[in-house]
Structure 1
Amino acid sequence: MEYGTIEREIYIEASPEVVFDVVSNPKHVREWWSDEAEFGPEPGKPGWVGFGDLTQDGHKAQLTVADAVPYTHFSFRWTHEEGEVAARGNSNLVVFELVPSGGGTLLKFTESGFRERGWDEAKAAAQHADHSNGWDHFLSRLGAYAATVGAAR
């Protein structure tokens, strides 16, 4: 079994401009993915996403924007340790590619970097399965949320 990359494609009933805003703006990210988010759109600037109640048993994951090309591409590295600079080998790379399609957007999603982390087979498999299940859930939420944002514009 290969645990290197997660790939998904979904069609979203919203323009690439709307979908780009939904995946790259923390105020929107909090609506479909994380409970909290703080990051800027500039590549290289560190930030984070939070899941659950951070004052209790929640989890905060580091996030650094890798690239942001309005309406076509947004990527970030995440899951690196606090205080580390995100790089290949210490973080995963998430990429959202946006392709106009009909009246909406084909979103091509990938997350890679599981193998490069140096984890043993069991940990790589567990992390890949956890992220794969999570993205299945959150990408469906992203599609539904982006469609409502697009309809409101």
Structure 2
Amino acid sequence: MEHGSIERELYVDAPPQVVFDVLTTPEHIRDWWSAETDFEATPGRPGTLTWTNQDSGVTKSVPFTVVASDPPHTLSFRWTHEDGETAAPGNSLLVTFELTPAGEGTTLRFRESGYRERGWEAAVLEEHYNDHRQGWDFYLPRLAATAKQAAGAR
């Protein structure tokens, strides 16, 4: 298997501005990604995503840095780097969301890349790749459902 990037495309039954808001607003991020965060969608701005295991109470925080933000068209960020490091190619993964109007809704193109560039040994690379692939396959449909619900509330 190649393990270079994870790419998905899905239709979201909400306009691009609503989808962008769902990607960047803490209360919406909590709904679809189950993470707490507080950040500005401004290039260069750092943030943290924090997940809490509801059964054990254990929390896991992951730093990220916004790379690009062009509302309501594009959002990208780097994450998975060590806390205290500056996120850069080679020490982080790059996540990009591209939003294109499609009728009354949005075509969302998602890509997470940078796996091979991390320099992980094959087994570690495969483990991280599979973990993220399964995660995005779970969370992206939730993002679409949250956006659809948010569009209906407007």
TM interval, shorter chain, is: over 0.9
Instruction: Count the aligned residue pairs.
Output: 153
2:68 maps to what in 1? 67
2:79 maps to what in 1? 78
Matches within 5 A, 1:1-150: 1-53=1-53, 56-150=57-151
TM superposition score normalised by structure 1: 0.95
Matches of 1:121 and 1:32 in 2, distance apart?
A: 31
How many angstroms does 1:56 deviate by?
4.2
SS in 1 for 2:100: strand
Contact 1:39 1:64 in 2 (8 A): no
Q: Which segments of structure 1 move beyond 4 Å, counting only runs of 4 or more?
A: 53-56
List runs of 5+ in structure 2 lacking aligned partners: none
Contact 1:74 1:96 in 2 (8 A): yes
Contact 1:65 1:77 in 2 (8 A): yes
Deviation string, structure 1 residues 78-127 (Cα, Å, up to 9, x no partner): 11111111100111000000010011000000000111101001111110
Matches of 2:26 and 2:78 in 1, distance apart?
A: 15
Sequence identity percentage: 50
2:126 counterpart letter in structure 1: A
Instruction: Say what the alpha-carbon RMSD is for the aligned residues.
Output: 1.4
List runs of 5+ in structure 1 lacking aligned partners: none
